Amino acid sequence: MIKLLFRFLFIILVFFFCLNCNRSKIYYKYDANGKKIEILNKDNTSDLKDYINYEYNKDGSLSKVYTYDSLGQLIYSYYYNKNGSVIKNLKYNNGKLETIYDYDEKGNKIKETFYDDKGKFYYVNYEYDENGNQLKNLKYDESGDLLDFTKYEYDEKGNKIKHLNFNGDGKIEDSYEYDKKENKVKQVNFTKDGKTKYIYEYDINKGFKKYSYYNENGVLKFIYEYNYKENSIKQYNYDEKGNIVIAYEYDNKGNKTKQYNYSDDSQLKDFTTFEYDDKGNQIKRSDFDNSNKLQYYYLYEYDDKGNRIRLKTYDSGGKPVEYE
């Protein structure tokens, strides 16, 4: 029993020793005024991992903070205003400047500058309203030429309701609309000429999604509507003039359940419904005119192997129709 107790204590001691093995040791340095000027972060072997230096203004307020790796290469540098807010932040990668962040007196990011490994850069400027909502961001190259920009719109409560992306020439590329909870409800993408290319519409509460596709001339070609609660799909096809030609409905198994046919002026001509058995075989087709009046219906029969063996046609009164 005693041996077991000692063995248990030994295991506990080894466990705590291993925990302490990986712990870093933090050392602080202060100036004559008691201001922290350096933090050293060392591993359990006292090798330096990284360190931080602090600089102060004459009035004692913090002005700069630098973070270095174990090789003495800069990782981050922060610059502060007299109120103690960060006004600039520089990020480095292997000692090379990677990103610069600039902030206004309210703490809003007003500029980002991004550098590649060759020192080339581009930058983004940010604009805000009096409530701190971001209104616009503009992306420029090294020469100061505008590459692209984004605009944001808000409701009276400050909720983002729309944002639009433009290229450097000011032509719109895509736009997004949001509900009061800032869920995306609509997305529109445009061609290089500014014509509508496709539209996505969403309704999270109703489980609904709609997709509209346009041709190169901005003319509507087809629409897909997905109703997740009803497990159904609707498809609308359009001609080159944007007139609806034909429409379909499908169930959750992909079976076509309805087909609508339209005239050249987009008026409903007639429609057809389809019914299926549990195996997915079409067992009935019903044809209606544009006033919802039944014209004919057709019954299909199958053998045990699923081969269609018989078709029976009936008129609206249920009388069999025989063809010579």
DSSP labels for 302-319?
A: E-TTS-EEEEEEEETTS-
| 241 Cβ contact list (under 8 Å, min separation 6) | 219
Amino acid code (one letter) for 263? S
Torsion sign, CA atoms 311, 313, 318, 324:
negative
Q: What is the pLDDT of residue 45?
A: 73
21 part of a folded domain: no
What confidence tens digit (pLDDT) does each residue in 301-316 have?
Answer: 999 999 999 999 999 9
Classify 304 in phi/psi space as left (phi over 0), alpha (psi -120 to 50) or beta: alpha
43 part of a folded domain: no
- Select from 238, 232, 241 the least CA-distant residue to 262: 238
What confidence tens digit (pLDDT) does each residue in 28-60 have?
Answer: 999 999 999 999 998 877 788 899 999 999 999
69 part of a folded domain: no
Q: What is the pLDDT of residue 20?
A: 47
- Domain count within the chain: 1
Average pLDDT score over residue span 9-35: 64
- Average pLDDT over the chain, rounded to whole? 90
Q: What angle do CA 320, 321, 324 make, to 5 degrees?
A: 140
114 part of a folded domain: yes
Strand intervals (E) in 141-253: 146-154, 160-167, 172-178, 184-190, 196-203, 208-214, 220-227, 232-238, 244-250
**pLDDT-derived band of residue 11, with 50, 70 and 90 as boundaries?**
very low
- Owning domain of residue 144: 82-88+96-315
Average pLDDT score over residue span 16-25: 54
The total number of residues written for the chain in this structure? 324
Helix ranges restricted to H, the chain: 2-21
Q: What is the CATH number of the domain that holds 168?
A: 3.90.930.1
Q: Report DSSP state, residue 217.
A: T
- Select from 184, 125, 186 the least CA-distant residue to 159: 184
161 part of a folded domain: yes
Average pLDDT score over residue span 139-163: 96
281 part of a folded domain: yes
What confidence tens digit (pLDDT) does each residue in 182-212 have?
Answer: 899 999 999 998 999 999 999 877 777 999 9
202 part of a folded domain: yes
179 part of a folded domain: yes
